[in-house]
Structure 1
Amino acid sequence: MDSLFCASGISKSISSNSCSVALRKLCEDASSFIHEPPILDILFWISEGMGEGNLRIEDEEEIISAITHALCSILDKELRKTSLARLLCSSYSAVEKIIDIDRDELLRQNSSAYAQALNIAVRGLHRMGALFSHLAMSITSGLIDDDTISVLFGIFWPLLEKLTQSSHMENTSLSTAACRSLSSAIHSCGQHFQILLPKILECLSMNFLLYQRHDCFLRTAANMIEEFGHKEEYSVVCVRTIETFSSAASLSNLNSSYTCDQEPDLIEAYANFTSAFIRCCPKEAIVASRSLLELSFQKAAICSTAMHQGAALVAISYMSCFFDASLTDVLESPECPSDESRGAVLVQILARCGEGLMFNVFYALLGVSALSRVHKSATMLQKLAALCSLCERTMWKGILCWDSLCGWLQTTVSSLSSEYLRQGEAELIIPLWLKVLQDAASDYLHSRTGDNCRNHPGYMQGKGGRTLKRVIRDFAESHRNVPTPYIDSRWSCRQQLS
């Protein structure tokens, strides 16, 4: 009776939200009787009735998660499998209608009917995503067996494959919902998607070339690489994917802080993808993509100066990812390896881009929005100083050394015009910053060696790191009223991009 009451309330807009929450609570607390045939029929009646699109998407996801929770706890394996398949199929038809080739032209000619069909399909994809998101938790706890996953995968993937190859992906809401649903399925059905990695990455990259403002394709590709990119047999397809993404005009045009301000979501998705590429892909892929990674680092340095806070911060985080990977490799191999190693590629990129990086860091710390970047900028500079200091003591010195950092700092400060620095400030900055950078580097390296690495995250913990952060904050505070210029590639990366 409680489930019937919830079902009745869900159908009314005034009570749909509260009844959705109540249904979830009921499904979580009443597993002993929720599996009785009459109760299951009511649950399916609820799920199949959502195709009308009367509820908020958030409420529909809440309902599907609740029903999925109930079905996952069914003890009878066959009943559990068929019940979950039926639940998935209740959303299947909503998506199937939009990709029906026979109805495609008819739908497009009627803009109102087409918009309604798109909305129904988007809702169906969100419900599928909610099912797979909850399924992932049940798989971890051992409630769902591989046979059930195979059945659900066999229903879901053929449908989504057809959708992603259709022109309907031009619609932002539909493509975003499809990618979100795919990401949820990847996390729960990982081993089944592994063999499809080349096909999925090709589909995502081709769709991105077609619809370049749809950052969802970049985000889903990042999820795929995080899940499977470490496997050497996929190195070639991973390289091909980053090459395709990098050739897109929307990413090629990210060459000034002005354009970065216009595309914050695209910057975040691109930074997340390239970060995943560096962290997860094998060395063969890193070596083959060195020129593209160098270009991505240059773009991130420019994006760090954007007025948009989110775009700037994610760009700084991406550059920090470079330093993390480089420091790890240098610490593990003090003897400088060949050019065919990940560490050598990344350190060489940093050596070539260091001057542009330092230039952009200073400009990122000018103006009213600079204070939000103090912590991430200080953390990144501490890692840069630690890397230069570490290379100075090892065979990596031929690529990068402490003098490199000193030269970048001196060149940058001397190039800043008088409108950005007070009289005599340039002469004070260089010795002060070099001293605090050296102390912060010592702190970081001390925390990364021996027993210390188990007790410290590695940055901003010691006195040197805290002093560096204070100095950078003081600089940002004292330059809040400075007019912030728009930065482009012509100065900061002139040697690399000319």
Structure 2
Amino acid sequence: MDVAESPDLQAQLAAAVHALNHASHPSARLAANQWLVGLQRSPQAWALAVSLLASADHPSPSADLLFFAAQMLRRKIQSPDYSLPDNAAQLLDALLVAARRFCLAPPRLLTQICLALAALALRAEGGVDGLFARMPHLPDPALLELLTVLPEEVAQDESGDTGVDSATRCRFTRELLTHAPAVLEFLLAQSEKPAAADGVPLHERNHRILRCLLSWVRAGCFSGAPVSALVAHPLLTFAFNSLQAFFSFEVAIEVMTELVSQYQELPQAFLSKMPYIREVLLLPALANRSEKIIAGLTSLMCEVGQAAPGLVAEGSNEALSLSDALLRCVAFSSEDWEIAESTLQFWCSLAHCILGIDEQTSKRNATQELFLPVFSSLLDALLFRAQIIDIDEHCTGRASSIPDGLVQFRLNLEELLVDICLLLGAPAYINKVCLFC
């Protein structure tokens, strides 16, 4: 690769990036932006960016300059307006050098470098296999970030005009998934490493492992795996245990929700964990009013219930534990109605499942009788949440304003209230509604 190492050009670039980020006058920022756009369009941009990222000059360029160089490379690789350089393999090697060099740099810089690598792997001939062949030379933090963004490149590419057709994206995904077993082994090894073994705090590393796992789950890394193997997979246990860590809770919820949505056999396994989720995770969160935890657990439990309403309707202890847990989430009083509203589709699915059983069978009667207390309590909770609780007593003489969230919540109740009426019977339903009038 012919590298444009002109000190004058590098100095101009450094000055323009500094002006773009720090100049106080808008005209200076505008002029800097125009100059940088022109540079990005020029053939010299390839070599200049690579020179900044891959050279071992001391002192290193500023963080802003390095970030711009990585971002410029990523944009040039992704844009259909620029052709990849003939020596794409050298560009790949240079980016890998940069990833090694900045593996412990500010995360946004490493992410940009890895995004450029992912974009190049998608577009270059033999890019995926060539990249994986070179990966063993990367430090673990850089490898983890690269493996996280690689599967995301397809989804990101689909969202814009990047000149990559669907056949290329499908090929890229197929090639990626051939490496899925090795990736899962790497993630498992990472999850078992001692604290700060690579200079990254344990809670941060666990969060990164889960982010990476989520990317590969979305790409279909467990496709074709027997459900027994998936349920027993150590990474699933790792994700479940991560629910107890506040720092990694949200991404752990995403991993498990994605798995449940993709694999129809998993709800049974997750349903068996509901008593634990209710007692150990949900009840303390409700007591402490930890809305982030409550909302996440509600999302996961609803996903499990909606994936297999028939399983819930069987009325096992685990199913009733799930129902009780979600009842508590509906009744949880918060400043908005998002948590309660997020459960509505689950309750509709369960009601439809029960109402869909043949009325003449003993199974319908037994199931309906088992869930009558549940839906009776649900109606109480919904009617309570649909009220305006905190009315300003000093607003006498003025029309009180109903919050938009409450208006939407009330509108979304219609279908479920009809189902509850059918389950409870009109007299019982009307009596309950009248109590709240």
Same fold (TM over 0.5): yes
Question: What is the CA–CA distance in structure 2 between the aligned matches of 1:340 and 1:221, rounded to whole Å?
Answer: 34
Distance 1:177 1:237, change over 3 A: same
Distance 1:299 1:64, change over 3 A: same
- Among residues 71, 83, 90, which one is paired with 2:130 in the alignment? 83
**Residue 128, structure 1, aligned to residue 159, structure 2:** no
Task: Give the secondary structure class of the aligned counterpart of 2:124.
Answer: coil
User: How far did 1:297 drift?
Assistant: 2.0
1:474 aligns to what? none
Contact 1:27–1:67, Cα closer than 8 Å, also in 2: no
User: How far did 1:274 drift?
Assistant: 0.9
1:202 aligns to what? 237
Matched ranges for 1:65-80 at <5 A: 65-75=115-125, 79-80=126-127
Task: Give the secondary structure class of the aligned counterpart of 2:102.
Answer: helix
Matched ranges for 1:427-438 at <5 A: 430=437
Distance 1:243 1:9, change over 3 A: farther
Matched ranges for 1:13-412 at <5 A: 13-29=63-79, 30-33=82-85, 36-51=88-103, 53-54=104-105, 56-75=106-125, 79-86=126-133, 88-89=135-136, 93-94=139-140, 121=141, 125-135=144-154, 141-144=169-172, 146-151=174-179, 153-165=180-192, 168=195, 171-192=202-223, 194-195=225-226, 196-198=229-231, 199=233, 200-209=235-244, 211=245, 214-215=248-249, 216-228=251-263, 230-231=264-265, 234-248=266-280, 250-255=281-286, 259-260=288-289, 263-281=290-308, 283-284=310-311, 287=314, 288=316, 289-303=318-332, 305-307=333-335, 309=336, 312-313=337-338, 315-326=339-350, 328-329=352-353, 335=359, 338=363, 349-362=374-387, 371-389=403-421, 391=422, 399-411=423-435
Structure with larger RCO (C-alpha < 8 A, sep 6+): 1
Contact 2:386–2:409, Cα closer than 8 Å, also in 1: yes
1:292-313 residue CA offsets vs partner (Å, 9 max, x unmatched): 222222221232x223x4xx41
Task: Give the secondary structure class of the aligned counterpart of 2:85.
Answer: coil
What's the RMSD between the two structures over aligned residues?
3.6
Residue type of the partner of 2:97?
Answer: W
Question: What is the CA–CA distance in structure 2 between the aligned matches of 1:236 and 1:296, rounded to whole Å?
Answer: 17
Mark the runs of 5 or more structure 2 residues left unpaired by the alignment.
1-43, 54-60, 158-165, 393-399
Between the aligned residues of both structures, percent identity stands at: 9
**Equivalenced residues, count:** 357
Residue type of the partner of 2:116?
Answer: A
Task: Give the secondary structure class of the aligned counterpart of 1:15.
Answer: helix
Contact 1:355–1:408, Cα closer than 8 Å, also in 2: yes
Contact 1:283–1:340, Cα closer than 8 Å, also in 2: no
User: How far did 1:85 drift?
Assistant: 0.9
Residue type of the partner of 2:383?
Answer: M
Contact 1:255–1:302, Cα closer than 8 Å, also in 2: no
Question: What is the CA–CA distance in structure 1 between the aligned matches of 2:313 and 2:137, rounded to whole Å?
Answer: 43
Task: Give the secondary structure class of the aligned counterpart of 1:190.
Answer: coil
Distance 1:87 1:37, change over 3 A: closer
1:103 aligns to what? none
Distance 1:327 1:203, change over 3 A: same
**TM-score, scaled relative to structure 1:** 0.61
Question: What is the CA–CA distance in structure 1 between the aligned matches of 2:151 and 2:240, rounded to whole Å?
Answer: 23
Question: What is the CA–CA distance in structure 2 between the aligned matches of 1:14 and 1:213, rounded to whole Å?
Answer: 28
Task: Give the secondary structure class of the aligned counterpart of 2:253.
Answer: helix
**TM-score, scaled relative to structure 2:** 0.69
